[in-house]
Homo-oligomer: A and B are copies of this chain.
């Protein structure tokens, strides 16, 4: 019997393992997970920590190790590390509480994920947490529940930082958000749209400190101190969300090539180039559909999708990972934001001659109660009119509209196409001219 070893039991690893076993039921599939849980929703942690999502940590678990063993027939090993691999001999050395052991395998799927970046000596400091793995979230929540801090520091103004600021405010904790740049979500959202997010954060009572890079962190006796921008900030707890880095050590030890930011380079079949080794998930570089370039973009949907494909291809399948648009969405209380494709800044960096149209609209007919204000932006290529990207920021219920543009970009739509889309109109749902139609018309005039 052939044995498949999957390293990492997150979304990608578990998708790969489950799909492989479904496709080839007599396959012996082992999943080795360094943490205490598999297949959980990391994205749900801020909401769980903030009490918006109730329940214990199992709420966030999609499939428990026990279910994976009993219902899916997978050999799942928690709290177990792959210490080393002799790929020529197809032997992995596993480390666990009881020591080490060896495991034979035939094919290997690497789903080692990404690690939260903890610069400025923040790692291991008392009262300072990252929020990438479920174990991080469990520790952070236990600390907050036990210490009931009156104040919190959030370092980083990206997704996790914003979501954690919401979580702390939700719990009645006085919160300071420290960000190295002037604009929140820089790199994801164009700066002028990010300004609106700043207003929302400040309106929620969060002290916002921008343009201040955190440089040192210390903690003791239930107090945490962060040095940033020449100032010293003190609070009862701190969360650091300043990015992640691919876990590539094992892959590199096997000779797998790495690319941008150290992410693993794979072909469309997710093969690493090393025989019988596939890679999937947050550790793997993805190809952006608009730029055609590989990039490190550790997002949940891609991890799940890659997992399915790696699981298929490790069982004689021939599926291809189709690339990404970098679609992302989040909210800060009632202010929602979403992006797909390239921002104006990213389009310029990628060398596109781009035009930009930004419009203000409402989420419903103007006269309809509770119509939410929104701003929509389309970035398009001059000349061809091809849509390169879109952004939306607005009130409750507006951001998922980005999917219209994600579909448009995926299909290579031009501004003229988008202007002509037959989008749904009724007064409770939209103005008669959908915001994207208006933005596309405006962009179309500029190309």
Contacts and interface: CB of A to CB of B under 8 A. Distances in A.
A71 to B, nearest CB: 17
Given A328-B424, A423-B327, A365 B41 contact: yes
A422 B367 contact: no
Interface residues of A, number: 67
A413 interface: yes
**A289, A322, A365, A427 interface centre (most CB from chain B within 10 Å):** A427
Interface stretch (A121-129, A169-177, A256-264, A396-404): A396-404
Contacts of A426: 43, 159, 328-331
Given A408-B411, A432-B300, A365 B403 contact: no
A62 B301 CA distance: 42
A185 to B, nearest CB: 13
Contacts of A302: 422
A11 interface: yes
Interface stretch (A52-60, A186-194, A347-355): A52-60
Given A43-B365, A44-B368, 18 more contacts: A41-B367, A43-B425, A53-B427, A60-B367, A301-B432, A305-B420, A324-B422, A326-B422, A329-B426, A329-B430, A331-B426, A400-B429, A401-B403, A404-B406, A407-B418, A407-B423, A410-B413, A411-B413
Closest 4 CB pairs of A and B: A411-B411, A329-B424, A407-B407, A325-B422
18 contacts: A43-B425, A52-B369, A55-B367, A159-B426, A322-B420, A327-B425, A329-B425, A329-B430, A330-B426, A340-B424, A400-B400, A403-B404, A406-B423, A407-B411, A407-B413, A410-B421, A410-B422, A411-B413
